[in-house]
Structure 1
Amino acid sequence: MINTIIRSDAPVTLVGGGRAGAEDLRAALDLAPRLVAADSGAALALAAGHLPEAVIGDFDSITDADKARLPPYRLFHIAEQDSTDFEKALSRIAAPLVLAVGFLGARVDHQLAALNVLVRQAAPRCILIGEYEVIFHLPASVHLDLQPGDVVSLFPLAPVTGRSSGLEWPIDGLELAPQGRVGTSNRALGPVSIDTDGPGLLALLPRARLHQAIDALTALPDAAVS
């Protein structure tokens, strides 16, 4: 059983050690003020003048100097090597939503691992914030208040089917799969609704639609602290 380290009734920001700037962290903290770092994500937080409530990971990449700047009671060493630091941290947060920065835009293997965690871990819901887009795992049913022309990419990490309204190219009747048909570069005609018949489908929206993604995920009835 995985023990909860951070419990919050409001969204939480999680920062990783990948490519991200202080402005990315600031944008997340404006919406989710409680801050948690995954291992070397502590470096970005500290450089931006923020002290994380918790630093969670196997501590193979955080520096001794950064650890020395943090109170010992905020350091949570998880020694096992069967999961990434992103998964270690995310699985120990109980919140309606996590905004994750510093997990996209650097090493491709780390990005793929983060996407894998998104589709395997049902809670908490999480939005990865990148330089150009935001990425999240689609729930069974979601409504997004998008604008005409917004790019909506749907990428399956498992075979999945579904239905949509408001997309230029509907997904009704399509079988999406990582080794088959994918749904990149679709476009919104306006507000978009998507229903899926199972897990595994990622949505990629323009970075400018972060607020709409947050509104859509936190409006769902099961978006609550467990």
Structure 2
Amino acid sequence: MKPPIVDISEPVTLIGGGELGRNDLDDALSRAPRLIAADGGAGPALAAGHIPEAVIGDFDSLTAEWRHRIPGDRLFPIREQDSTDFDKALRSIRAPLILAVGFLGARVDHQLAAFNAVVRHANHSCILIGAHEVIFHVPARIEVPVARGDVVSLFPMRAVTGRSHGLEWPIDGLELNPGGRIGTSNRALGPVTIETDQPGLLAMVPRGALDDVIRALAPAQARAAE
């Protein structure tokens, strides 16, 4: 196995070339100040006055101007076309947490590919930051102190079973499946606990719960490292 391109013991922000809200990058960097770009994500990073510590991707979206402004030792091309730049970046980063911006909104196919990558690299704690919600892969057990009435959507990317506490409609005894029953538009009765029997479940909670999700994923990451 190749060593990771980026090996950092603190949270990192990963920026993509997709839709980026006005405060998305600042919100991420305030929590994870080390900045990595996935290919075309270097453009909005530079536009915001930041030079990424590393740019990872097939470089089909990296313009000559952007390449000229970034030191050569920070450019890490991965030429294969069998995976997305987000996937290439995820598998090339070792960090306790990745806050990903610029991967949601705009093209639906890009969003679906991002969801696929988050599940395929479920050993990473990665949070996708969107305009209204944050999305993350549910570990074996997680407790998130969301507020009563908050929308908590669960979407399976493969067949998943598990249990929940604090959801208006519990998932106990159900098989969630992308081709069958899903769990969108559930509501919190207060803090929510979710346990899963296998990987593959995405959770979507209000963006205002970002810090709560970051704290909730920390114990899960510690357990995964044991």
Please say whether Structure 1 and Structure 2 have the same fold, judged by a TM-score greater than 0.5.
yes
Answer yes or no: is the 8 Å Cα contact 2:57–2:85 preserved in 1. Answer: yes
1:123 is displaced (CA, Å) by: 2.8
- Structure-1 separation of matches of 2:204 and 2:58: 29
What one-letter code is carried by the residue in structure 1 that aligns with 2:89? A
What one-letter code is carried by the residue in structure 1 that aligns with 2:178? P
Partner of 2:48: 48
1:3 is displaced (CA, Å) by: 2.7
Answer yes or no: is the 8 Å Cα contact 2:21–2:131 preserved in 1. Answer: no
Secondary structure at 1:115 match in 2: helix
1:122 is displaced (CA, Å) by: 2.5
Q: TM-score, normalised by structure 1?
A: 0.97
1:22 is displaced (CA, Å) by: 4.4
- Structure-2 separation of matches of 1:15 and 1:164: 32
Indicate yes or no: 2:183 matched with 1:183.
yes
Answer yes or no: is the 8 Å Cα contact 1:16–1:40 preserved in 2. Answer: yes
Q: Which runs of 5+ in 1 are unaligned?
A: none
What one-letter code is carried by the residue in structure 1 that aligns with 2:149? G
Partner of 1:17: 17
1:103 is displaced (CA, Å) by: 0.4
- For the structure 1 residues 108 and 166, does the alpha-carbon distance in structure 2 shift closer, same or farther, using more than 3 Å as the test? same
- Structure-2 separation of matches of 1:76 and 1:91: 13
What one-letter code is carried by the residue in structure 1 that aligns with 2:185? S
- Structure-2 separation of matches of 1:77 and 1:22: 28
1:26-69 alpha-carbon deviations (Å, 9 max, x no partner): 00000000000000000010000011000000000111111110
Partner of 2:120: 120
User: Which is further off, 195-204 or 19-28?
Assistant: 19-28
Partner of 2:64: 64
What one-letter code is carried by the residue in structure 1 that aligns with 2:188? A
Partner of 2:196: 196
Partner of 1:222: 223
Taking the TM superposition and a 5 Å limit, the aligned residue runs for 1:1-226 are 1-220=1-220, 221-222=222-223
- Structure-2 separation of matches of 1:44 and 1:167: 38
User: Which is further off, 128-137 or 3-12?
Assistant: 3-12
Secondary structure at 1:189 match in 2: strand
1:223 is displaced (CA, Å) by: 5.7
Secondary structure at 1:169 match in 2: coil
- Structure-1 separation of matches of 2:146 and 2:8: 28
Secondary structure at 1:99 match in 2: strand
Identity, in percent, stands at 64
Secondary structure at 2:223 match in 1: coil
Answer yes or no: is the 8 Å Cα contact 1:2–1:91 preserved in 2. Answer: no
Secondary structure at 1:104 match in 2: coil
Answer yes or no: is the 8 Å Cα contact 1:22–1:48 preserved in 2. Answer: no
What one-letter code is carried by the residue in structure 2 that aligns with 1:74? R
Measured on the aligned residues, the alpha-carbon RMSD in Å equals 1.2
- Structure-1 separation of matches of 2:111 and 2:130: 10
- Structure-1 separation of matches of 2:2 and 2:88: 9
Secondary structure at 1:172 match in 2: coil
Answer yes or no: is the 8 Å Cα contact 1:57–1:88 preserved in 2. Answer: yes
Q: How many pairs does the alignment contain?
A: 225
Structure 1 stretches of 4+ with a deviation exceeding 2 A read 219-224
Specify which structure has the higher proportion of helix. 2
What one-letter code is carried by the residue in structure 2 that aligns with 1:80? E
